[in-house]
Amino acid sequence: MRAYIVSADALNLREQPSTEAAVLVRLVRGQAVARLDEVEWGAGWWRVFADTGGDMAFEGYCVARHLSSATAGSAPAPPAVSSAGPDPATIMLSRHFSLADLTISETAARRGIDNTPTGEVLENLKRTAGHLEDIQTRLGAIIAVSSAYRSPALNRVIGGSNSSDHTRGLAADFTCRAIGTPHEVCTRIEASGIGFDQLIHEFGRWVHIGFGPRMRRQSLTVFQGTGYKLGILTEAEARALS
C-alpha cells in the first residue's frame, strides 16, 4: 500500500468508481489515504483506504488526480478558483458535512429556486452539522442527508410547515443504510444519549431530526393518513393507534 495526501479542499470517497455512486465520506485537504492496489478502476479512479479518526475508517474509490504522493513531497494543488464564487461542495460546515450536503434540493434545482442560506441560518447549519457528526460517531456509520435547509421559497413549493426547523437550518432528513431501516436508525438514536428536539420516523422512508432550541427529545412517527403519533413506531403500530 502506498500513502497519499488529499490535495483538493474536498474529495468524495465513493462506493464505486463512478461519480454516480454513493458518497461514503467526504475527505478534506491533508487527509492521508492508502492506495489498496495498482489497478486503474475506470478512468483515473483508485481504490483507497482512509482512516478519518473517531473509530471511522473507509474503503472506497476516489479520483486519483486529487491525491499527491505523501513521500515525494510534491506541492499540493492550489485551491480551485471559480468565477461564480466558492463551490458549496468545498465549504465545510464540519469535518464531514459541506454546505452543499445541507442545502441540497432536487426540487430547488429543478425549479431554479435559490436555496442559499445566509447569516443566522448558516450559523444554525454549522450547529446542525456538528450534531450530525455526533450521530455518525455514535452510530459508527455514514448517514446520507437528503434534505436539511429549505429556504422560505423552497418550503412553500414543497408545502412544508412554516414553523419547520428545516427553514431555520435546524433539521435534517437522512437515511443510514449501514444501520438498517429508518425505524432501526430511529430506535438506535432514541436509545442513545444523543440530544435532539424532535426525532421523527417519517413514512417508513427516512429519519427526520430537529435541533430546535427546546431540545425536548420528543420521538414521533408519521405514516400516510396516521397523523403524528408519540414514539418510534412501525407502520402497523402507528395504524393501530389511528
3-state helix, strand, coil in the chain (%, to 5): 25, 30, 45
Q: Does residue number 168 form part of the binding site for Zn ion (CB under 5 A)?
A: no
Q: Does residue number 173 form part of the binding site for Zn ion (CB under 5 A)?
A: yes
Q: Which of 35, 96, 188, 208 binds Zn ion (CB under 5 A)?
A: 208
197, 240, 159: which is closest to 223 by C-alpha? 240
List, in order, residues 6 or more apart from 235 with CB less than 8 Å away: 204, 223
Bridge partners for 221 per DSSP: 201, 229
Cβ closest to Zn ion, residue 101 vs residue 173: 173
CB of 160 to Zn ion, least distance (A): 8
Q: Which residues in 82-111 contact Zn ion (CB under 5 A)?
A: none
CB of 204 to Zn ion, least distance (A): 14
In the complex, which residue's CB is closest to Zn ion?
Answer: 208
CB of 147 to Zn ion, least distance (A): 6
Q: Does residue number 165 form part of the binding site for Zn ion (CB under 5 A)?
A: no
CB of 210 to Zn ion, least distance (A): 7
Between CA 127 and CA 230, with CA 131 as vertex, the angle to 5 degrees is: 115
List, in order, residues 6 or more apart from 22 with CB less than 8 Å away: 14, 15, 16, 144
**Residues binding Zn ion (CB under 5 A):** 173, 208
